[in-house]
Amino acid sequence: MKSLQNINVPHPFPYQGSKRGIAKFILSHFPSDVRCLYEPFCGSGAVSIAAAAHGLASLFALNDLNIPLIALWGEILENPHGLCDKYERRWLEQHHDRKAYFFKIRDEFNKSHDPDQLLYLLARIVKGSVRYSSEGLFNQSADNRRSGMRPNTMRQNIFGVSALLSKKTKLTALDFREAIKSAKESDLIYMDPPYQGTSFTRDHRYFNGLSYDDFVEALSIMNEKNLSYIISYDGVTGEKIHGKLLPNFLKLKHLHIHAGRSSQATLLGNIQETTESLYLSSSLVQRLANELPSRTRSVKAEQQELAFA
Ligand X SMILES: C[S@@+](CC[C@H](N)C(=O)[O-])C[C@H]1O[C@@H](n2cnc3c(N)ncnc32)[C@H](O)[C@@H]1O
CB-wise, 175 or 291, nearer to ligand X? 175
Query: Could you say which of 13, 18, 38, 101 contacts ligand X (CB under 6 A)?
Result: 18
Contact 76, 158 (CB under 8 A): yes
What's the Cα-to-Cα distance from 151 to each of 84, 101, 262, 290, rounded to whole Å?
A: 7, 17, 29, 46
For residue 166, which of 4, 21, 10, 33 has the smallest C-alpha distance?
Answer: 10
d(CA 282, CA 279): 9
Handedness of CA 210, 215, 217, 218 (dihedral sign): positive
Q: Strands, E, within 52-179: which ranges?
A: 59-63, 169-172
Which residue in the set 37, 65, 118, 180 belongs to the binding site for ligand X (CB under 6 A)? Answer: 65
- How many residues sit in the footprint of ligand X (CB under 6 A)? 22
Identity of the amino acid at 194: P
Determine, following the binding rule CB under 6 A, whether residue 83 of this chain makes contact with ligand X: no
187-246: which residues touch ligand X (CB under 6 A)?
A: 192-194, 206-210
Q: Using CA atoms, how far apart are residues 43 and 128, in angstroms rounded to an integer?
A: 11
- Point out which span in 40-48, 100-108, 118-126, 134-142 binds ligand X (CB under 6 A): 40-48
Q: Least CB distance from residue 300 to ligand X, whole Å?
A: 38
For ligand X, the nearest residue by Cβ is: 43
Q: Is 274 in the site for ligand X (CB under 6 A)?
A: no
| Closer Cβ to ligand X, 160 or 194, answer by number | 194
Give the whole-angstrom CA distance, residue 309 versus residue 301.
12
Of 134 and 248, nearer to ligand X (C-beta) is 134
Task: Give min distance, CB of 73 to ligand X, in A.
Answer: 11
Residues 236 and 275 sit within 8 Å (Cβ to Cβ): yes
Question: What number of CA atoms fall less than 13 Å from residue 296's CA on the CB side?
Answer: 6
Residue 233: CB minimum distance to ligand X, A? 10
Residue 10 or 104: which CB sits closer to ligand X? Answer: 10
Question: Distance between CA atoms of 217 and 167, rounded to whole angstroms?
Answer: 33
Nearer to ligand X, 208 or 275 (CB): 208
Closer Cβ to ligand X, 148 or 194, answer by number: 194
Distance of closest approach, residue 92 Cβ to ligand X, in angstroms: 27
Q: In whole angstroms, give the CA distance from residue 52 to residue 30.
A: 12
Q: How far is the CB of 215 from ligand X (least distance, A)?
A: 9
Stretch (H or E) spanning 85: helix 80-93
Instruction: Choose between 136 and 238: whose C-beta lies nearer to ligand X.
Output: 136
Chain residues in the site for ligand X (CB under 6 A): 15, 17-19, 40-41, 43-44, 46, 64-66, 175-176, 192-194, 206-210
